[in-house]
Amino acid sequence: MSCVFAGSFFNFVLAKTIIKDYSVSEAVIEIKNLNKHFKDIKAVNDLSFNVYKGDVFGFLGPNGAGKSTTIRMLLTLISPDSGSIKIFGKDLVKHRLEILRNTGAIIEKPDFYGYLTAYKNLEILGSISGHEIPKNRIMEVLELVGLEKRFKSKVKTFSHGMKQRLGLAQSLLHNPELIILDEPTTGLDPQGMKEIRDLILMLSKEQHKTILLSSHLLNEVEITANRMIIINKGNAKVEGDVRELLFAGKLNVKVDVGNPEDLNRIVTESRWGSFLDSKSNSTFIFNLETKEIPELNRFMVSNNIEVLSIVPTRSLEEYFLSITEKGA
Partner 1 sequence: MFTLIRIELFKIFSKWRTYIGFIAIAALIPLIEIAMLIQKERTFDWITRSMGQSFIFVGNFLNTYFVSYLIINSIALHIPFLITLVAGDLLAGEATAGTYRMLLTRPVSRFKVVTSKFAAGLIYANMLVFWLALISMGLGYILFGTGELIVSKSAQIIIFERTDVIWRFVLAYGYAALCMCVVTSVAFFFSSLVENAIGPIITTMAIIIVFLIISAIDIDFFQKLKPFLFTSYMLNWQSFFDSPVDIDSIIKAVLVLAGHIAVLYTATLLIFKRKDILT
Catalog residues that contact partner 1 under the rule CB under 8 A: 72, 75-79, 96-101, 103, 105, 107-116, 124-125, 127-130, 170
Nearer to partner 1 (CB atom), residue 177 or residue 318: 177
Residue 212: CB minimum distance to partner 1, A: 13
Amino acid at 149: K
Q: At 87, is the secondary structure helix, strand, or coil? A: strand
Instruction: Name which of 18 and 124 has its Cβ closer to partner 1.
Output: 124
The bridge status of strand 41-52 relative to strand 27-38 is antiparallel
Contact predicate 268/261, CB 8 Å: no
State how far the Cα of 199 lies from the Cα of 192, in Å rounded to an integer.
10
Minimum gap (Å) between residue 96 Cβ and partner 1:
8
Residue 7 CB, shortest distance to partner 1, in Å, is 38
Q: Are 196 and 188 contacting, i.e. CB atoms less than 8 angstroms apart?
A: yes
Nearer to partner 1, 170 or 324 (CB): 170
Beta bridge mates, 60: 230
Q: How far is the CB of 295 from partner 1 (least distance, A)?
A: 53
| Least gap, CB of 126 to partner 1 (angstroms) | 9
Phi, psi (rounded to 5 degrees) for 85:
-130, 125
Q: Is the CB of 97 or the CB of 328 nearer to partner 1?
A: 97
Pick between residue 125 and residue 310 the one whose CB is nearest to partner 1.
125
The residue among 103 and 297 lying less far from partner 1, judged by its C-beta, is: 103
Residue 132 C-beta: closest distance to partner 1, Å: 9
What's the burial of 15, exposed, middle or buried (CB within 10 Å: 0-12/13-18/19+)?
middle
Nearer to partner 1, 72 or 243 (CB): 72
Q: Give 112 or 286: the residue with its C-beta nearer to partner 1.
A: 112
Min CB(101)–partner 1 separation in Å? 4
Where are the alpha helices (H) located in the chain, listed in sequence order? 67-74, 96-101, 118-128, 135-144, 160-172, 190-205, 218-224, 242-246, 260-269, 292-302, 316-327
CA distance 267 to 247: 24
Cβ 232 to partner 1, closest distance in Å? 21
> Strands 103-106 and 178-182: what pairing?
parallel
List residues bridging with 112 in a β-sheet: none
Give the residue with the Cβ less far from partner 1, 12 or 115. 115
Which amino acid, one-letter code, is at 307? V
* Angstrom distance (rounded) from CA 131 to CA 127: 5
Side chain identity, residue 144: L
Note the Cα 193 to chain centre separation in Å: 14
How far is it, in rounded angstroms, from Cα 97 to Cα 229? 27
DSSP code of residue 1 = -
Closest contact distance (angstroms) between CB of 36 and partner 1 is 9
